[in-house]
Structure 1
Amino acid sequence: MKLFVFIGLLLPFGLLSQISIQSISVENQINPIGVGVSTPRFSWKLSSLNRNESQSAYSIQVFKGKSQVWNSGKVNSSSSLFVAYAGENLQSNSTYSAKVQVWNSGGKPSKIATTLFSTGLLKKEDWKAKWITSGLAGDTVNGKVPVFKHLFRVNKKVQSARAFVTARGAYEATINGTRVGDSYLNPGWTSYNKHLQYQVYDLTGQLKQGLNDISVQLGSGWFRSRLGWQNNQNYYGTTTALLWQLEIKYTDGTSETVVSDGNWQIGFGNIVSSEIYDGEHQNTRLVWKAMGQAKEIQANFDVLTAQINEPIKKQEVLSVKKVLKSPKGNTILDFGQNIVGWVKLKVKGTPGQKVVLRHVEMLDKKGEPYFENLRSAKALATYELNGEEQEIEPHFTFFGFRYVQVEGMEVNPADYQAIALHSNMTPTGSFETSNPLLNQLQSNIRWGQKGNFLDVPTDCPQRDERLGWTGDAEVFSRTASFNFNVNQFFAKWLKDVKADQFPNGAVPFVIPDILNKPNAGPEAQNGAAGWSDASIIIPYNIYTTYGDMQILEYQYESMKAYLNYVRSVAKNDLWNTGFQFADWLSYRVDDSKGMIGQKSAVTDNYLVAQCFFAYNTELMIKTARILGKTEDYKEWEKLQDRIKLQFQKEFMTANGRLISDTQTAYILALQFDMIPGHLRQAALERLVTNIKSYNYHLTTGFLGTPFLNPVLTRYGRNDVAYALLLQDTYPSWLYPVKAHGATTIWERWDSMKPDSTFQDPGMTSFNHYAYGAIGDWMYRTIGGIDTEEFDGAGYKQIVIKPELGGKLTFAKTALDSPYGKVSTDWSVNTTGFTLKVEVPVNTTATVMLPSFGSNKRYQDGVEITGDRVRIGSGSYTFTIK
């Protein structure tokens, strides 16, 4: 040990100041295959042993084999995010390497770091495959699942083999009996007829000399399963179809292409039926046999794009926590956590024996499974056994559940595993405090996100809905971007927002839009505040979090079209027309008997709409400034003034009282500066008075809740914000946790009431993340980690400002930002306050310490003056005695 210390002391000082490249991403992916753009963007994260380290220059070299195709040269810039390739055109289905080197602020170079990436099929002409369908009579929306098979020979040594695959439906493939890839429900859910993603798989290691066997199952998936409570089956078409192209390159320099066409064999497998809401039925006694040849059909290649978001993969595996018996005598497995996915079971029974798994989120107060909130969704996994021991699980469905009722056999709990499925987003944020209930709330927020970020941001995962509701995604987007890296997740979804946007600029309430008939007429082309606004709010939030300007560039015309839609339906800049969700699911007196004698908290629909009109205009002003759209932002600055003036005329008295005396009304008016400055303090007092009148309970709905605590913090009332956060009786964030042991966020504040009865089963979900938007305040205010929006977006310029309260004695918060780890770790006790801060290389941070009067402040043991400190990268400790 002494020898190593001695050697370290002998190292020249200059080496310690060197900067290191820790990781390189290409289009937000590490070593990606199938990049679908000809000008990919490079990003990298840096580290250094020294403080105040930054990048002063970089160089990027890109090679195809040994041939260099681009050399940026040494570029004097601190940019390390989204640096665009600027070399010769990249070729389809080709592998490239990139070498990156940077120089620190002192001009010392790093070691060269290398990454690999490959391209997809960059031109429509690159597709040689044919779209094929089974043509079998039983291949219908609720019918049997066809299996496509094809044999081909490999007689040479394979250098590389990549498959480019997509479907109208959902597919699973094997090569020589081995599964292709580890993702599920491919190709995911998009507005298929306008935007369809293909996946790329490296099959180099799966091919063998001689005969090779391709087998592909093709389920209905989202393509033709019934979607929504309107029973919209076959929404995108009645016929599923497969597209497969395998590109093989041999070591002798030759190549071969194996494509889907009319020569493929077709037949049915052992999946009798498979549907998103009802589940899956397998008869494991059935064996595939050829029933003919596939049929080639015409389909649109123009809509094909390489997958840009993370695929759905198996994630957490949960074992049975308890085996219960219901009052009716049924066996129920409790997995201890509400998840989204399915159950994998090991089973052996008599031939023809049927095992049925029924999935539910909750048990009623008698201990019976609560099926009613599934509405028409059956949520079943049914298996007919073949007499052999086997492990079985579904393929083309998913369930939202904590409990599973098992019918048809005796249960050995060791034979059952609950497997969580969600988009394979990288976890980025962590949050922990001294309060166990808050820690459980944080866990519930994360689990709610995981369960509902299943390729699209769904509202809920269990009933006959599971749709990409724009309002839910909008209010939660900033919270989501702390917990996981959702840059690509939302970039993909926003493509469908743009694709499904109506010609008049209105944005549908769910994306992909299955609530409206294709080519919906003018009467259906409507937008609603807080929902359709996702088209503006989410792109801006993603830019702020990740510094990804391309999101704004790509979505700008869509954003602008939506704002123009609102302007077109507003009367003299007052949005007081049309349908509005308003403050959805806010407190009503008939919701529960939890607060007898209180009045409802229903906010005027158009007051809410006018506030979001102003909010959208503000974000468009900011976006136009970022993109240099001078004429646009100057026009919108004038528009914003008129919007606020109309709000004051329509919804406010001369002394600042609003026509809706609700928490949400004052929250939104204060959040978006709708009230003149000299009247805001009085408005704040009315808000606080309202909160106190409910004994420090919130009464807000989907649109008021995200801004409730931020407004209180902004105006210096953290005491009230913490009181609301830590309230543990109905209605509050902690009521479901403390009263009912919730493991996810609920749709309603009282989805289960204080007396353990349920809310309206027509709309009661126990995994519905919208109210989890409080997470954003927890991370930014309790944890104290935030970013500047403009030049500092993406945590280039970090704000560290923890706000103490709620008798918390510590909080630990960390974020793997685009530049690296940002963390805060604060504690407070009778001897003082300690804050440990970590700032990544190539960023700066402004630390704003809590105010403790005249107490002395120290940075790493050295006394400092003031509560505001500017620091560079590194680790620091601040104390207040």
Structure 2
Amino acid sequence: MKLNYFSRGFVSMFLLLLCSQMIFAQVTVMNTRCENLANPIGLDIAAPRFSWQLKGKERGIQQTAYEIEVFSGSPKGVRAWTSGKVNSDSSVFVSYKGGNLKSGTQYFWHVRVWDNKGKMSKWSEFGNWHTGLFEASDWKAKWIGGAADSSSEQPSPLLRKEFQSAKKVRSAIAYITAKGMYEAKVNGKRVGDAYLSPGWTSYNKRLQYQVYDITDMLRQGENAIGVTLGNGWYRGNIGFQGQRNYYGKDIGLLFQLDITYTDGSKATVVSDESWKTSTGRIRSSEIYHGEIIDNRLEQNGWELVGFDDAGWKPAISAAPYEHALVATLNEPIRKKEEFKPAKMITTPSGEKIIDFGQNMVGWVKVKVRGNKGDSIKIYHAEILDKSGNFYTTNLRAARQENIYILSGDAEEVFEPHFTFQGFRYIKIEGYPGEIKPENFTAITLYSDMKPTGEFTSSNTLINQLQHNIQWGQRGNFLDVPTDCPQRDERLGWTGDAQVFYRTASFNFGVNNFFSKWLKDLALDQLDNGSVPFVIPNVLGKDASGSAGWADAATIIPWQNYLAYGDKKTLLEQYASMEKWVGFMNTNSKDDLWNKGFHFGDWLFYRPDDDNDGRSAITDKYLIAQCFYANSTQLLINAASVLGKNTDVEKYTALLKKIKAAFNREYVTQSGRLVSSSQTAYVLALHFDMLPEALRQQAADRLSENISNYGDHLTTGFLGTPYLCHVLTRFGKTEQAFKLLMQESYPSWLYPVKMGATTIWERWDGQKPDSSFQTPGMNSFNHYAYGAIGDWMYRTIAGLDTEEGFAGYKKISIKPHIGGGLNYAKAVLQTNYGQLSSEWKVDAKGTTYNFEIPANTSAKVYLPEAPGDKLFENGKPLSTSTIKVISTEAGRTELLLGSGIYNLTVIK
């Protein structure tokens, strides 16, 4: 049979399509990232790491090989590296292995993969990254400062420079940092969307710079740069001892703009003595106290071309920064949610109050019309007192007030620049005319971490608890993990950070956030290995070495590895981990660490009317020994992952001695602990301090203690994170549910019932009669007790990494049904894609829904062994391709490849 032209064309197209289907896998490469970021700019990492995700319609998708190509300058530029086909299932943190990267250069990369059917994907879309400045000599700019100002308010310096861009611009990259904080504008437009830059590091060790592509902001001809500086953490009031100028007395700017023209020629604009300086509308700026902005002193147009700066002074040449300048890897602080007033209130004392309905961190933008010289004061508070009046006593010395002085020119808009407030309520004084809700907008600020986790259930109080946990994290993850965001503190307390880390890693992507903070922890660690209470350390070298606080040095790196599979951070922190264990070892006698200051089980429940001794404070040295053992175990774990076999042997022998010393000192022959508190038993059990034969009886004693308190907890900061995990481990999950569901004080739901929208510092920050705990330490946004979120994700929904694996490459899903819940669901965006676990109980039985991301697998443990009553999508499981591993011990164990699964157990 002869084919006509069109028939032959059709057959050719059909064969080509068939051939392409045979060649290419039914899998797409997506969500490419470089160092956890999408197309980052300003990386000073010599060998950045690439990650990607796979997507396909079929189940059980696995990667068997990959190929990466990297090009310099453009996707069609010079090839900088090709990996060739690498037989590997790795799709997370795959390192660049090409030649040396150049400073200030853009690189493009893409990847393709082969699946477990031998088929090759198409190339991914190109991602890119821009390198920072690798060498100190790459910096051509000079440090400059504003004119000295003797006033106590320290108005924010303004710095400006006009310059010529003689040709058409192909690219313009700005490198900026400051001692203090900065906001930059080019031709009147704000550079970037980050706030409180350059962020807070241990400034006496290292300082971050930021990189911006401002190509679209420049124009051929005249251009103008304007930069405003603020005190920030550098020289402002910091710490609760009223100290100032902790890092230095003078703030300053380092600015470098590298321009490449379309003809290939280059130019550089740098900060130097040719810049001009003055002051303007920001008369005072303090993190704790807020800002004073006087619009009468605004220098209109100062950041534009043609501004008359004849009255300005030359910029001052500032002393060079003598420590490391490093590019910013963690996500910047950005404006996030906005809230309009939920309620307008006139209090019994006549105060004008706005309730925004949510305790948050950020500031309030105000619109106003008035006369020249009118002064508006905005005060911030978390809560109203028993009588319904504005309450700020718990702020201690922090004023948390913004003062705005009007110029009288039409409508004026005010918002702060170099401060932040923790608040739900604002009090307004001096506002001209009627206070209308549309003139006030609350704006949140926090590190722009990617949301990764959600937990929901059939219990509205538990859902509000989850909301409060996440909002506590938002408010306190402001470049460093602060303890609280409102009073005169706001410090990176190590204890709070370590107890909350695992929960934090479910709610948001915190890998870069904590990798940055851990670097400062290692830098601020004392020479003897002791770890400060707060990082960056602004409390001095004597404020260090407390058990459960300093252990952030070991706990967070290890948990970061479990959550993300980030071996690089584990390697970078290993020396710090070892130094901390070494400090405890040096300060031990006969392997017993029983000296030094310790916070102990901070803010535990302390019933005033209890005289039988059950709630006695947990022995602080018992706690110290438990954390000594735990940190040693985590060091062993890290050494094993990193292939440090000699260290594994060394510290395994040490751990055996530490536990033997614990049992000699703190345990009777029958297994009773010298401290009878819940925390004592929780730590001893969670850290495996007791011989195997004594553990169950200890768990029974813990359970009895809880029952004696009417199913209430009595734990503080160190015992609370592990309490429900220990109960579940020893077969007492229903009691753990009772603790979670408890609504009366002390409990997680008591603050929820009292109207909390974040986690409180104390179990009874506000008492049942609406009076308050001691104001010296009573934050209403303090995330530590939110550590229960970890148990909700890992036990109720059951999402976890399989033991011996990290980063959700191998997944374990063990849902637990109880607590009167008939529904629960958790969703987690892993490095491989979306992972979820959902269960629902009704009269017919239990339904489970699971989603497993591509290039992973999951062992699923159902809490039933239903035999022929288990169905997938309405069909008997026996007809499914799902592999049943076992149906023993009253449960069913399944092996699931990637895909979406619906399973039902019929009663």
TM-score, reference length from structure 2: 0.93
Match of 1:41 among 36, 45, 49: 49
Q: Which residue of 2 aligns with 1:465?
A: 489
Q: Which residue of 1 aligns with 2:142?
A: 130
1:283 CA drift (Å): 0.3
Q: Which residue of 1 aligns with 2:217?
A: 206
1:369 CA drift (Å): 1.0
Q: State how far apart, in whole Å, the 2-side matches of 1:823 and 1:863 are.
A: 20
Q: Deviations over 1:671-706 (max 9, x none)?
A: 111111111111111101100111011110000000
Q: State how far apart, in whole Å, the 1-side matches of 2:654 and 2:419 are.
A: 47
Range 702-711 or range 280-289, more displaced: 280-289
Amino acid paired to 1:102: V
Amino acid paired to 1:546: Y
- Asked if structure 1 preserves the Cα contact closer than 8 Å seen for 2:24 and 2:122, the reply is no
Q: State how far apart, in whole Å, the 1-side matches of 2:662 and 2:612 are.
A: 31
Matched, 1:819 2:836: no
1:17 CA drift (Å): 4.9
Task: List aligned pairs for 1:464-863, cutoff 5 A.
Answer: 464-516=488-540, 520=541, 524=542, 526-590=544-608, 599-738=614-753, 740-790=754-804, 792-851=805-864, 856-860=869-873, 861-863=875-877
Q: State how far apart, in whole Å, the 2-side matches of 1:104 and 1:681 are.
A: 46
Q: Which residue of 1 aligns with 2:107?
A: 96
Amino acid paired to 1:315: K
- Asked if structure 2 preserves the Cα contact closer than 8 Å seen for 1:342 and 1:393, the reply is yes
Match of 1:316 among 316, 337, 357: 337
- Asked if structure 2 preserves the Cα contact closer than 8 Å seen for 1:536 and 1:619, the reply is yes
2:384 alignment partner, SS class: coil
Are residues 321 and 222 of structure 1, via their aligned partners in 2, closer, same or farther at CA, if it must alter by over 3 Å?
Answer: same
- Asked if structure 1 preserves the Cα contact closer than 8 Å seen for 2:869 and 2:876, the reply is no
Q: Deviations over 1:595-640 (max 9, x none)?
A: 8988534211011111111111111111000001111111111111
Q: State how far apart, in whole Å, the 2-side matches of 1:296 and 1:424 are.
A: 34
Q: State how far apart, in whole Å, the 2-side matches of 1:348 and 1:601 are.
A: 59
Amino acid paired to 1:145: S
1:858 CA drift (Å): 2.7
Q: Which runs of 5+ in 2 are unaligned?
A: 1-13, 300-308, 879-883
Q: State how far apart, in whole Å, the 2-side matches of 1:108 and 1:20 are.
A: 11
Task: List aligned pairs for 1:11-90, cutoff 5 A.
Answer: 14=22, 17-65=25-73, 66-90=77-101
Amino acid paired to 2:796: I
Are residues 601 and 15 of structure 1, via their aligned partners in 2, closer, same or farther at CA, if it must alter by over 3 Å?
Answer: farther
1:137 CA drift (Å): 2.2
Amino acid paired to 1:284: N
Are residues 809 and 170 of structure 1, via their aligned partners in 2, closer, same or farther at CA, if it must alter by over 3 Å?
Answer: same
Task: List aligned pairs for 1:272-291, cutoff 5 A.
Answer: 272-288=283-299, 290-291=311-312
Matched, 1:437 2:466: no
Q: Which residue of 1 aligns with 2:413?
A: 391
Amino acid paired to 1:772: G
Q: State how far apart, in whole Å, the 1-side matches of 2:24 and 2:58 are.
A: 7
Aligned residues: 861
1:862 CA drift (Å): 2.6
Amino acid paired to 2:426: V
Q: Which residue of 2 aligns with 1:337?
A: 358
- Asked if structure 2 preserves the Cα contact closer than 8 Å seen for 1:569 and 1:575, the reply is yes
Q: Deviations over 1:105-142 (max 9, x none)?
A: 111111111111111111111000001111322476x4
Q: State how far apart, in whole Å, the 2-side matches of 1:301 and 1:688 are.
A: 56
1:675 alignment partner, SS class: coil
1:38 CA drift (Å): 1.8
1:301 CA drift (Å): 5.5
1:573 alignment partner, SS class: coil
1:345 alignment partner, SS class: strand
Amino acid paired to 2:757: T
Q: Deviations over 1:452-489 (max 9, x none)?
A: 00000000000000000000000000100000000000
2:590 alignment partner, SS class: coil
Amino acid paired to 1:678: A
Q: Which residue of 1 aligns with 2:247?
A: 236
Amino acid paired to 2:491: L
1:330 CA drift (Å): 1.1
- Asked if structure 2 preserves the Cα contact closer than 8 Å seen for 1:166 and 1:197, the reply is yes
Amino acid paired to 2:899: G
1:22 CA drift (Å): 1.3
Q: State how far apart, in whole Å, the 1-side matches of 2:18 and 2:685 are.
A: 57
Task: List aligned pairs for 1:52-451, cutoff 5 A.
Answer: 52-65=60-73, 66-113=77-124, 114-138=126-150, 142-288=153-299, 290-300=311-321, 302-388=323-409, 389-409=411-431, 410-451=434-475
1:863 CA drift (Å): 2.7
Q: Deviations over 1:35-65 (max 9, x none)?
A: 1112111111111110000101001110013
Q: Deviations over 1:779-830 (max 9, x none)?
A: 001111101254x310000001101101111111100001100011210111
Q: State how far apart, in whole Å, the 2-side matches of 1:822 and 1:750 are.
A: 36
1:226 CA drift (Å): 1.3
Identity percentage over the alignment? 53
Q: Which residue of 2 aligns with 1:3?
A: none
1:544 alignment partner, SS class: helix
Amino acid paired to 1:418: A
C-alpha RMSD of the superposition: 1.6
Amino acid paired to 2:535: I
- Asked if structure 2 preserves the Cα contact closer than 8 Å seen for 1:58 and 1:77, the reply is yes
Q: State how far apart, in whole Å, the 2-side matches of 1:145 and 1:302 are.
A: 24
Range 62-71 or range 743-752, more displaced: 62-71
Which runs of 4 or more aligned residues in structure 1 lie more than 6 Å from their structure 2 counterparts after TM superposition? 10-13, 595-598
Amino acid paired to 1:443: H
Amino acid paired to 1:760: T
Amino acid paired to 1:451: G
Q: Deviations over 1:691-722 (max 9, x none)?
A: 01110111100000000000001111111000
2:215 alignment partner, SS class: coil
- Asked if structure 2 preserves the Cα contact closer than 8 Å seen for 1:124 and 1:301, the reply is no
Q: Deviations over 1:414-466 (max 9, x none)?
A: 11000000000000001100000000000000000000000000000000000
1:16 CA drift (Å): 9.0
1:525 CA drift (Å): 7.0
2:66 alignment partner, SS class: strand
Q: State how far apart, in whole Å, the 2-side matches of 1:835 and 1:528 are.
A: 44
Q: State how far apart, in whole Å, the 2-side matches of 1:573 and 1:234 are.
A: 42
Q: State how far apart, in whole Å, the 1-side matches of 2:164 and 2:539 are.
A: 47
Q: Which runs of 5+ in 1 are unaligned?
A: 1-6
Q: State how far apart, in whole Å, the 2-side matches of 1:563 and 1:155 are.
A: 59
Q: State how far apart, in whole Å, the 1-side matches of 2:656 and 2:201 are.
A: 38
